[in-house]
Structure 1
Amino acid sequence: MSYFFLSEPPYLLLLFGILISVACGTAFEKVLKNNVNKWYQTPKSENPDSVQTPSLFLPFIGICLGIFLFLGAGLEVVINAWKISLAIALPLTLITGRLVWSQLGKLLVKLQQGGSQALDLEDLF
């Protein structure tokens, strides 16, 4: 009988994680640019709740999934235990993803309400 074994250091999962993140990041960029162009073409009276759309959230979830795979595989190289490495990678990915998503929402609301002049870099920090 022939058995299939994954390679001990999960270099293939590291590569898949990076590729998934880059592919979803490209889709995220295109959707974000499309949404911003629509906001500039519509009147300012549009509802600011429409900033974070499902079409923007889906590529973001893909980015988070790729980061989770990359972190999990990278930690597995160091720790050499899948359960522990995934237990560390999951909360790191969820917390970071939530923080980035909320910050992105705040920035997009500012951009929609005040245009590009509202994004003063000194106010962000």
Structure 2
Amino acid sequence: MYYYPQQPPYFLLVVGLFAAIASGLALAGTLKLIVHKWQSDGAETSGSQMSVKQLTVPFLGITAGACLFLCSGFEIFGFPPFLAYAVGLPVGILTGLLVWVQLGSMLTYVARQGMRSLDLDSLP
């Protein structure tokens, strides 16, 4: 038969969304500060390892909030709780890991090549 949750986790859905948005705003602010510092001091002289450490906590907040949002959404749409977490956690963590690797490679690329290497407006 069909699975209908007695009390769908709407509260967890909202909490996960709020955590992801709040952490995303913190990550955006931190990235703006890092880029501003790199523009003034030079990206080659600033250590990219220090900037990665500053970005770790907001990024983990985004990943945790997105995982909670995803798992709660699966439960609301009829997945049993075990299956919702069995699907939602790996998808959320794998997506977060792939985005973290891409962000790290972009930061090391800028640290090696400088800020001018990301100037997309000058491309034909």
TM-score (norm 2): 0.80
Q: Are residues 1:12 and 2:15 paired?
A: no
Describe the SS at the equivalent of 1:52: helix
Tell me if structure 2 keeps the 8 A contact 1:31–1:56: yes
Q: Which structure carries more relative contact order (alpha carbon 8 Å, separation 6+)?
A: 2
SS in 1 for 2:52: coil
Equivalent pairs counted in the alignment come to 115
Identity of aligned residues (%): 36
Q: For residues 98-121 of structure 1, what are the alpha-carbon distances to aligned partners after superposition, in whole Å with 9 as ceiling and x for unaligned?
A: 100000011112223333431366
What is the Cα deviation at residue 97 of structure 1? 0.7
| One-letter amino acid matched to 1:117 | R
Q: How does 1:1-125 map to 2 (within 5 A)?
A: 8-43=7-42, 44-53=44-53, 55-119=54-118
| Matched residue type, 2:99 | V
Q: Which runs of 5+ in 2 are unaligned?
A: none
Question: Residues 85 and 49 (structure 1 numbering): CA distance in 2 closer, same or farther, change over 3 Å?
Answer: same
Aligned Cα root-mean-square deviation (Å): 2.1
Off by >4 Å, runs of 4+ in structure 1: none
Structure 1 position 76, deviation (Å): 0.6
Provide the TM-score with structure 1 as the length reference.
Answer: 0.80
Report the AA paired with residue 30 of structure 1.
G
